Homo-oligomer: A and B are copies of this chain.
């Protein structure tokens, strides 16, 4: 018996087989594409397999449920939120952070999550995904903002005694609110408006509050 005959009946011919990382990436891409197009409730392992041009067995071999698959796809695909380069001014640093946030929301993983988050949150698995978003997106985002703020304080661009943990929420909160109340879109100039109209005024040193 050749190895070809050993594989599951629904696996594609050996010639089309991809291994390891290539196959995993194709499956993750297909998962996000399906999530965006059909939503979470109607997403199936079969649909993802078909979209990734592989067999259902290739999925079940790695993930026991569609929630496991989603978590793995998000872990792999969510943009990382590493260090912010020192761009020389508070304005440039903030703009970098907010534009990176907007780009993440428009990445394949971000679009898929925005399209299906209500459905996912309404289900039992919702907490799992929200915990993942907290750990992979929100907590690192807050750390990055605190870093930018400390740089701004050192440069004398930020008032002393600012409540960094609270202020760090303003950018992400405004972006989320924008997607929830304005048809889901964040205009390309929104990060710059946030920086100039909200963030810089809120952070600048100067007279005590009125």
Which A residues are closer than 8 A to B by beta carbons?
39, 41, 89-91, 118-119, 121-122, 126, 134, 138, 152, 156-159, 162-163, 166-167, 169-170, 172-174, 176-178, 180-181, 193-194, 196-198, 200-210
Contact = CB atoms under 8 A, between A and B. Distances in A.
Contacts of A201: 159, 162, 201-204, 209
Given A169-B181, A196-B209, 8 more contacts: A90-B210, A118-B121, A163-B197, A173-B177, A204-B206, A204-B208, A205-B207, A205-B210
9 contacts: A89-B210, A90-B210, A118-B118, A118-B122, A166-B198, A173-B173, A201-B209, A203-B210, A204-B210
**Closest 8 pairs between A and B when the two form their complex, measured CB to CB:** A173-B177, A200-B209, A157-B210, A118-B121, A202-B202, A206-B206, A119-B122, A206-B207
A118 B91 CA distance: 35
Contacts of A156: 210
Best-buried of A178, A193, A209 by chain B (most CB within 10 Å): A209
Interface SS of A by simple majority = helix
Contacts of A170: 170, 173-174, 198
Nearest to A175: B173
Contact of A176 (B134, B176, B208): B176
Contacts of A205: 207, 210
B166 A193 contact: yes
Given A176-B173, A193-B163, A210 B200 contact: yes
Contacts of A138: 181
Contacts of A204: 201, 206-210
A95 B74 CA distance: 39
Nearest to A169: B177
Nearest to A207: B206
Contacts of A41: 122
A6 B79 CA distance: 65
A156 B208 CA distance: 14
A121 B193 CA distance: 28
